[in-house]
Structure 1
Amino acid sequence: MTAVKIIKVLGTSTESWEDAAREAVAQAAETVQDIHGIEVEDWTATVEDGQITEYKATVELAFPVAHE
């Protein structure tokens, strides 16, 4: 039986929420091994002068607990 750890990561993008989610996974993958799945918990954005200037995605990442 494998134990799974879940962490939250906030990704940001000036392009889209999807890009923000991809960025969260890409950045986390630099230090977290074997990410098996994600769940997008929340989509938010920064608005300036009536326009979205930054998209934000709060993502939960799941990966197996390492046994050393």
Structure 2
Amino acid sequence: MTAVKIIKVLGTSAESWEDAANEAVARANDTIDDIRGVEVEDWTAEVENGAVTEYKATVEVAFPVREGNP
């Protein structure tokens, strides 16, 4: 049986929510081995003067828990 750990990561982008989600996964991948799946939990944005200035995606990242010490 495999245990899976899930963490939340917030990605941001000036371009789109999709880019924000991709940024979250890419940054998580820098420090987490073997990401198995993601779920976008929330889409939000910063707005200034009636225009979106920053897109934000809160992403849950799932990866297996290692047994023992690496």
Q: Does TM, normalized by the shorter one, top 0.5?
A: yes
CA distance in structure 2 between the aligned counterparts of 1:13 and 1:66, rounded to whole angstroms: 32
Match of 2:54 in 1: 54
Residue segments in structure 2 that go unaligned for 5+ positions in a row: none
Residue segments in structure 1 that go unaligned for 5+ positions in a row: none
Using the size of structure 2 for normalisation, the TM-score is 0.95
Name the count of aligned residue pairs. 68
CA distance in structure 2 between the aligned counterparts of 1:56 and 1:48, rounded to whole angstroms: 14
CA distance in structure 2 between the aligned counterparts of 1:49 and 1:13, rounded to whole angstroms: 18
Map 1:16-27 → 2, pairs under 5 A = 16-27=16-27
CA distance in structure 1 between the aligned counterparts of 2:20 and 2:66, rounded to whole angstroms: 27
User: What's the RMSD between the two structures over aligned residues?
Assistant: 0.5
CA distance in structure 2 between the aligned counterparts of 1:32 and 1:50, rounded to whole angstroms: 37
Using the size of structure 1 for normalisation, the TM-score is 0.98
| Runs of 4+ residues over 4 Å off in structure 1 | none
Q: Percent identity?
A: 75
Asked if 1:9 corresponds to 2:9, the answer is yes
